[in-house]
Amino acid sequence: MRCAVLGDPIAHSLSPVLHRAGYAALGLDWTYEAHRVPAGGLADFLAGLDATWRGLSLTMPLKREAAGLATTISDRARLAGAANTLLLAGGGALADNTDVPGAAAALRERFGGKVTSATILGGGATATSVGLALADLGARDLRLLVRAPERAAETVDHLRAHPGSPEVTVGTLEEPVVGEVVASTIPAEAQDAALVDRCTAVPVVFEVLYHPWPTPLAASVGSDRVLVSGLDLLVHQAALQFTTFTGEPAPLAAMRTAGEAALDTRPTP
């Protein structure tokens, strides 16, 4: 069976490393490749697949596009307005979103405390998934800090539609950071010293990036605080995809070890 990750850019993706490690650990004769597919190109790619294809992982800019092309969509993908997973079977495609439960699992692996409020840096599709995960864990006060507040409207709508009815507010990156968790979905170069300093009172930092590492925000986390990394998120969402595609429990430890090894060989930008 064949699987792949699609997106643009895609050369940096660790997904092939993680999924192939899972196949090797379970002795599965499956393949997993990376394919560059730009925005607007997903329908044509799907049209060229045959019955040997089982699943696709989607990264930017295809997550919202994928949700609109599937024959069936899961509740959480519909809630997020984006799909990072397509299960191919019977000539159709089931769209799902493993970013949401993957983010919740990554956070719970590192932090067992209560989550009642959180600040999210950024307002795109990843911020939506992380925000929904935080709401799943109990957060009822979500604050989005973004560079352009008007561009976060879609994310705000999705977060407010969560069954927990969280209060969602929007501010700029220059405003205070509050809550038990701060989740960053912004580029490392946007994490200036002033922003990092405003995050120091928050006990849990969820940095969704995994390269370059550490980001300024991640580097600021000492032993008295909790750090959840982008690799944690990537491994947990990939493990959920692995099970969706193969029907087998994912070998999480083997996938994480492979991811760590691959990152260790990457040059620092």
**At residue 269, does pLDDT exceed 80?**
no
**At residue 268, does pLDDT exceed 80?**
no
pLDDT given for residue 129 in this prediction: 94
Q: Can you tell me the mean pLDDT for 125-140?
A: 96
CATH code for position 49? 3.40.50.10860
Q: Can you tell me the mean pLDDT for 141-155?
A: 94
Q: Can you tell me the mean pLDDT for 170-187?
A: 97
Say if residues 81 and 73 touch (Cβ distance below 8 Å). no
Q: 130 and 31 share a domain?
A: no
Residue written as tokens 């580029």?
187
Q: 82 and 132 share a domain?
A: no
For 187-205, the pLDDT digits (tens) are 999 999 999 999 999 999 9
CB neighbour class for 15 (10 Å; exposed up to 12, middle 13-18, buried from 19) = buried
Domain membership of residue 223 as a residue range: 101-228
Terminal alpha carbon distance of the chain: 35
Phi-psi region of 97 (alpha: psi -120 to 50; beta: other; left: phi over 0): beta
Binning the chain into helix, strand and coil, the percentages to the nearest 5 are 40, 20, 40
Residue written as tokens 């969820």?
206
Rounded Cα gap, residues 157 and 161, in angstroms: 6
% of the chain beyond a pLDDT of 90: 92
For 35-61, the pLDDT digits (tens) are 999 999 999 999 999 999 999 999 989
Phi and psi torsions of 193, nearest 5°: -60, -35
Q: What average pLDDT does the chain have?
A: 96
Q: 130 and 209 share a domain?
A: yes
Two tokens, residue 121: 């840096």
**Within a 10 A sphere around the Cβ of 94, how many other Cβ atoms?**
19
For 213-252, the pLDDT digits (tens) are 999 999 999 999 999 999 999 999 999 999 999 999 999 9
Q: 46 and 122 share a domain?
A: no
Q: Can you tell me the mean pLDDT for 8-34?
A: 97
Q: 110 and 150 share a domain?
A: yes
**Is 269 among the domain residues?**
no
Instruction: Tell me the helices (H) and strands (E) count for the chain, helix number first.
Output: 11, 12
Q: 153 and 178 share a domain?
A: yes
**Is 158 among the domain residues?**
yes
Q: Is 114 a catalytic residue?
A: no
Q: 89 and 160 share a domain?
A: no
pLDDT given for residue 125 in this prediction: 87
Q: 217 and 116 share a domain?
A: yes
Domain count, the chain: 2
Q: 219 and 127 share a domain?
A: yes
Given 19, 63, 158, 162, the catalytic residue = 63
pLDDT given for residue 267 in this prediction: 76
Q: 132 and 93 share a domain?
A: no
CATH code for position 220? 3.40.50.720
Q: 105 and 195 share a domain?
A: yes
Give the type of residue at 214.
P
**At residue 151, does pLDDT exceed 90?**
no
Q: 112 and 218 share a domain?
A: yes
